Amino acid sequence: MTSSSVDCGQVKDSLKRWSADFDAKFASVLIPAGDAPAELVEAMRYAALAGGKRLRPYFVTRCCVLSGGCPEAAFHAAVAVECVHTFSLVHDDLPSMDDDDLRRGQPTVHRKFGEAMAVLAGDALLTLAFELVVRDLPDAAWASDMVGELARGVGWSGMIGGQVIDILGEDKASSVDLVRSIHAMKTAALFETSCRLGALAGGADASVLSALSRYGRCLGSSFQAADDILDVTATASQMGKKVGKDATAGKQSLPRAVGIEESRKVARRLADEAVCALDLFGREADDLRALAKFVVQRQH
Amino acid sequence: MTSSSVDCGQVKDSLKRWSADFDAKFASVLIPAGDAPAELVEAMRYAALAGGKRLRPYFVTRCCVLSGGCPEAAFHAAVAVECVHTFSLVHDDLPSMDDDDLRRGQPTVHRKFGEAMAVLAGDALLTLAFELVVRDLPDAAWASDMVGELARGVGWSGMIGGQVIDILGEDKASSVDLVRSIHAMKTAALFETSCRLGALAGGADASVLSALSRYGRCLGSSFQAADDILDVTATASQMGKKVGKDATAGKQSLPRAVGIEESRKVARRLADEAVCALDLFGREADDLRALAKFVVQRQH
């Protein structure tokens, strides 16, 4: 597959098949061993099993394989990053934050279960992510690195920190530097962490770990640039969520800072950089190359 | 010190000295290594460093020592449980949950920094807890057990699950069984986890681990029974937070289920059971015995 063109339909179909299999296993993990309240479990499963592209767990799995591991070695880490992603959507949708009614084409968790349950379901998904990321590792001694990696990607200097500067940015003048920071922390940090967790679970050496980190980081920023563009150009029914929100809320966004056309160029440039990061791999990384193209060409 | 009487002032003073030292070290951990937004760090530090009895980290530290470890081996686990406890207070105080304006004698985080920042500061404290609980362990191979223990105490079958049944219980008829479940999950689970984390960090054998688990579990339920009583009998200025809330909100509480006098008996019985759990230790556990008495005799 060349870097200049990619069949979006084919990538989508292939990802869809993969995610159907992942979702079945994901559902079986979302059953508590202990005595959890049924209402909480229902809200967590509602949020987590509503579809979604499952890009992050796909990266975990594929980066594990590219690092020499078997896909099973990364399974619980893959579920962990999707739990984190789901937790972030549930909390970001809250009335005190983005105040969204619709997510993945269905009512948001707080609209369906109430605000208190949405806060707590998010909290429980975040907690579960850490429980999972150390489960059934090929080597128990890796647990500490896995937890450290996940916490860095999620915490005050990662995704959660990014959500804070995104919210605080609503009161500020449009700034491309600020947009870059938001994209890096809010989105790229967890993409990078997904790739690194897979690489760690696969026993990657330093050069492989570094290459896959760069792939994840660049792809994450490219993905968020494309997301900012789609917020302007796509319809709500395409996206399964409200669009045009960035302008309404006065959010920092790439199109607002540099215009749509320049934003498209930035997204493509970042995707190309992600592809370059894969140079030390052969054809076995073609799916990740195709995904980098898909991320900027997608319509939702 | 006999089990029938304890000098509350002495226990309080001794805990106060310990917590002053702990707080100084805690403050130095609450400085991000990476590029975290200053406003987020400020909200987290505001919530975490506002005082508090620091009972849970004290249990972590002392249980480590009773298990044969040095206090330093449990330091980051001690900070981790206090981060978790702080996170739970910040989220429980939110308008969608208990809607409290006052905590530890000062405005709650959402009153001071806004609701979005309160949600995110709580999320970041929870994430930080997991980052810390695996830091500088005597043996890296213990990381997986430490994370699993923390996640079980906090997650859907632990503290967060307990908060859910507490909230759902507001619509239900008073039930002593329901109160017991709420106390066990919402409070005792994290007390037990604190003791177990300390024991694990100290390299406890099975019998020590089991004894300290029982101590934490019984003391946690005793503490929450006493808290329910104080919500009826204490003043807001004694407690540093609103009182009389259980009755107003129609909450499940022990006094509502069995009356004040019977509640006092239950609290004392549980504290006695906690003391019994320490039978395999000598005088070196006297401070934990005294604390069990303090918990039911305290006025705030």
The verdict on residue A2 lying in a domain is no
Q: What CATH number is associated with residue A272?
A: 1.10.600.10
Would an 8 Å CB–CB cutoff place B286 in contact with chain A? no
Q: How far apart are the first and last CA of chain B?
A: 22
pLDDT at B16: 94
The verdict on residue B138 lying in a domain is yes
pLDDT at B5: 59
Average pLDDT for B113-141: 96
pLDDT at A117 over 70: yes
> Token digits for A41?
């479990």
pLDDT at A5: 59
A141 to chain B, closest Cα gap in Å? 5
A30 to chain B, closest Cα gap in Å? 11
Nearest Cα to Cα of residue A267 among A239, A286, A293, A245:
A293
Identify the burial level of B290 via C-beta atoms within 10 angstroms of its C-beta, where 0-12 means exposed, 13-18 middle and 19 or more buried.
buried
d(CA B82, CA A64): 34
Which tens digit of pLDDT belongs to each residue from A143-157? 999 999 999 999 999
d(CA B60, CA B82): 10
The verdict on residue A3 lying in a domain is no
d(CA B90, CA B112): 11
d(CA B217, CA B221): 6
pLDDT at A238 over 80: no
> Token digits for A167?
């919210």
CB atoms within 10 A of CB B269: 15
The verdict on residue A89 lying in a domain is yes
CB burial readout B131-168, b (16+ within 10 A) else e? bbbbbebeeeebbbbbbbbbbbbbbbbbbbbbbbbbbb
The verdict on residue B2 lying in a domain is no
Location of structure tokens 């054809």: A283
Q: What is the pTM of this model?
A: 0.96
Please report residues of B whose CB lies closer than 8 A to that of A137.
144
Q: Which domain holds residue B51?
A: 8-297
Integer-rounded Cα radius of gyration of chain B: 18
d(CA A132, CA A148): 13
Total tally of structural domains belonging to chain B: 1
The verdict on residue A40 lying in a domain is yes
With CB atoms and an 8 Å threshold, state whether A36 touches B157: yes
Question: Per mean pLDDT, which range of A40-44, B41-45, B169-173, B221-225 is the poorest?
Answer: B169-173
> Token digits for B203?
């390299």
d(CA B161, CA B143): 24
The interface residues of chain B toward chain A in range 49-88, judged by CB-CB distance below 8 A, are 87
Would an 8 Å CB–CB cutoff place B31 in contact with chain A? no
Average pLDDT for A175-191: 97
The verdict on residue B253 lying in a domain is yes
State ipTM: 0.96
**pLDDT above 90: percentage of residues in chain B:** 84
Which tens digit of pLDDT belongs to each residue from B243-255? 787 877 889 999 9
Ranges of H-type helices in A169-259 = 176-182, 189-201, 206-233, 236-239, 245-249, 254-258
**pLDDT above 70: percentage of residues in chain A:** 98
pLDDT at A1: 39
DSSP A138: S
User: What angle do the packed helices A189-201 and A75-92 form, to 10 degrees?
Assistant: 160
The verdict on residue A1 lying in a domain is no
Would an 8 Å CB–CB cutoff place A170 in contact with chain B? no
Nearest Cα to Cα of residue B91 among B47, B142, B155:
B47
d(CA A200, CA A67): 8
pLDDT at A101 over 60: yes
Please report residues of B whose CB lies closer than 8 A to that of A36.
155-157, 161
Ranges of H-type helices in chain B = 8-29, 38-48, 55-66, 75-92, 109-113, 115-133, 143-154, 159-168, 176-182, 189-201, 206-233, 236-239, 245-249, 254-258, 260-276, 286-297
CB atoms within 10 A of CB B28: 9
**pLDDT above 70: percentage of residues in chain B:** 98
